[in-house]
Structure 1
Amino acid sequence: MNTTQLECFMSVANHLNFSRAAKQLQITQPAVSHQIKTLEDELGTALFHRSSKSVRLTQEGHMFTQYAEEILKLSGMSRARLRESQASKPMRFGMGCRSMGELNLLQPVLHNLKELEPGILPVLRLIPFDSLENLLSEGDIQVMFAFEEAAPKNQVYRELAWGSMSAVCAEDHPLAHYESVGVDQLKEGGRIAAGRPPVCPPSLCMVQGQIIGGKKPEQVIFCESREVMDALTQAGCAFSLAVDVPQLRMPGLRYIPLEGTEPVSFGVSYNMNQHKPILRQFLRLLEEEMKKRA
């Protein structure tokens, strides 16, 4: 049973004439007859007495009119409610992050974006990099932080800053008093909290691999996220490696440049075809916040 069948039934019941019902519904008379016939077959009873001169409702047809009218009314109300819901639905804007530093950067940006776009519904994803890339390509998020060397190739990349490869340690760690450190020095620098490739850009992972290769297994703590690495580093349990973007620094940590390494580009990747006005506002506010923190 569908609404087309019910609309045909109610029109014929009101006009008691198939030709007039077809004209009202703007379909052919055979189409109306077909809808009535399939409805009667589904219900297992005749709804109309038909003759060459007249059409009239059967007893079952009279009973069914009240049900058909209620069903059509509910159907119309449901469609209207759904249209209202779509009209008042907030603009969803998804952002992908890999660390608390990136989340902290977003807080003032979102505050200012909310003032400019009151109807926005911000959605934040803090998950591994590979998953973020999938969400971006599927349209679940519209923008994500990334290092250029690991940015999705099929999206637009926009640079925000350059970062230097650095050793990161607590302020009371033995490495903390150095102004710069070398790879060989870090091989002897105690326990390291190491991130797997999606957590760190490829060039940093290569350096990390060199350092890990010179350590005993008990001197390496493998971590699933940047948050775990930072927690162990802040606690003084280990040092770690990171691309030091000053605007993303975590409190209580020392960032020591790593000798013999090249700077890394940090920015955002986004799909230019989605939410263009809000995306432009977001990127402008993000760049302004980066300049404030520089």
Structure 2
Amino acid sequence: MNTFQLSCFLAVAEYLNFAQAAKQLHVTHPAVSQQIQSLEKELNVKLFQRTTRSVKLTDEGKVFLWDAKQIVAISDRAKKRFGGVAGGNIETLSIGCYNFPCMFLLADTLETLRTIRPELHPRLQEIPFQHIYRMLEEGDLDAVVGFKESANVKINALYKEVAKVPMVCICSGSHSLAGQKELRLCDIKEERFVLFVPPKGMLSIAQTQGQLMGERPPSEFYFCESAEAITVLVKAGYGISVLPDFLVPDTPLISRIPLKDVDQVSFGIYYKSLQGNPALKAFIQCAKENLTALDI
């Protein structure tokens, strides 16, 4: 079934005359007849009752009339959408993140980008860590936004740092540490911890978690796969946690305390190339301006 067959059917249904339908479509009478016969064969029904003196829609033809109109209308709408220049050009930029907080942090950057590149249509995707860099390498993503990975993680891409993020200790508002202005790792080493599942943790987090865990038994730790889940367990009093500052959900129920002796972590953008991709270049520049300006 194709749109030309449907157009022939609709024309004959309108004029109830094959010759007039052919004239309206600027084709020959036999061509219209052939298309109707082909359509009837595909649908396995008769669409018209034909005699030497008249043409009428069958009951099946009347039922199919609505479907044919809808299909042709959808086809025409699709052609109009891409057939002219009135709607302007569309520029796309595919950005991947492996957690929602990193994606949410891009809101101000994308707002700035919208003002300078109004034709841009960003495509944001939250993708599991084990797939995201393969998608970047295969060209399914223009950029991956996240923390700088360990040199042991082989990533065939360039990296641009856009911000340094401090590590913080988070605890429930009722915890004894909640009133502290800053902490050191030695101040919290005896606490119970809520931590990222090890394979999910970025290098900076994994190193800090390793220092905190030491040789303590597994019963003293709770593991989660997201910062949101960690925050829930921290609020419920299962323990405290150590996270990059902006991964911590903004809630008054949680106290975040700067860690004085833990290095800030690098946050940035992985990409293959800026050549031939001005939108990506503008995105990286806007991200650096917006995220560097944040007090994170």
Q: Which of the five TM-score ranges fits, normalised by the shorter chain? A: 0.5 to 0.7
Q: Once the 2 structures are TM-superposed, how far is the Cα of residue 105 of structure 1 from its aligned partner?
A: 3.1
Taking a change above 3 Å as real, the CA distance of residues 230 and 276 of structure 1, as seen in their structure-2 partners, is: farther
Give the one of 160, 163, 169 matched to 1:161.
163
2:259 aligns with 256
Taking a change above 3 Å as real, the CA distance of residues 205 and 153 of structure 1, as seen in their structure-2 partners, is: same
Taking a change above 3 Å as real, the CA distance of residues 207 and 46 of structure 1, as seen in their structure-2 partners, is: closer
Contact 2:183–2:257 (8 Å) recurs in 1 = no
1:211 aligns with 212
2:201 aligns with 200
1:282 aligns with 283
- Write the distance in 2 (CA, Å) between the matches of 1:162 and 1:223: 24
Query: Which residue type is aligned with residue 157 of structure 1?
Result: Y
Taking a change above 3 Å as real, the CA distance of residues 234 and 277 of structure 1, as seen in their structure-2 partners, is: farther
TM-score normalized with structure 2 length:
0.62
1:97-108 aligned at under 5 Å gives the runs 98=99, 100=101, 102-103=102-103, 105-108=105-108
- Write the distance in 2 (CA, Å) between the matches of 1:230 and 1:140: 32
Contact 2:6–2:72 (8 Å) recurs in 1 = no
1:14 aligns with 19
Bigger shift: 121-130 or 154-163? Answer: 121-130
2:293 aligns with 292
2:77 aligns with 81
Instruction: Note the residue ranges of structure 1 that are not aligned, 5 or more in a row.
Output: 50-56
TM-score normalized with structure 1 length:
0.62
Contact 1:8–1:21 (8 Å) recurs in 2 = no
Three-state SS of the structure 1 residue aligned to 2:280 is helix
Three-state SS of the structure 2 residue aligned to 1:238 is coil
| Matched pairs, number | 271
Q: Once the 2 structures are TM-superposed, how far is the Cα of residue 233 of structure 1 from its aligned partner?
A: 5.0
1:53 aligns with none
When the two chains are superposed, the root-mean-square deviation of aligned CA atoms in Å is 5.1
- Write the distance in 2 (CA, Å) between the matches of 1:249 and 1:70: 54
Contact 1:169–1:175 (8 Å) recurs in 2 = no
1:112 aligns with 112
1:54 aligns with none
Taking a change above 3 Å as real, the CA distance of residues 147 and 288 of structure 1, as seen in their structure-2 partners, is: same
1:129 aligns with 129
1:52 aligns with none
Bigger shift: 187-196 or 37-46? Answer: 37-46
Query: Which residue type is aligned with residue 255 of structure 1?
Result: P
Deviations, residues 191-223 of structure 1 (Å, cap 9, x unaligned): 111111354213532552453242233421212
User: Which structure features the higher share of helix residues?
Assistant: 1
Q: Once the 2 structures are TM-superposed, how far is the Cα of residue 111 of structure 1 from its aligned partner?
A: 2.9
Q: Once the 2 structures are TM-superposed, how far is the Cα of residue 14 of structure 1 from its aligned partner?
A: 1.8
Taking a change above 3 Å as real, the CA distance of residues 267 and 47 of structure 1, as seen in their structure-2 partners, is: same
- Write the distance in 1 (CA, Å) between the matches of 2:227 and 2:148: 18
Three-state SS of the structure 1 residue aligned to 2:106 is helix
Contact 1:99–1:227 (8 Å) recurs in 2 = no
Three-state SS of the structure 2 residue aligned to 1:168 is strand
Deviations, residues 70-115 of structure 1 (Å, cap 9, x unaligned): 8765544322223445658987765535253x35532322332343
- Write the distance in 2 (CA, Å) between the matches of 1:73 and 1:126: 39
Q: Once the 2 structures are TM-superposed, how far is the Cα of residue 116 of structure 1 from its aligned partner?
A: 3.5
Query: Which residue type is aligned with residue 115 of structure 1?
Result: T
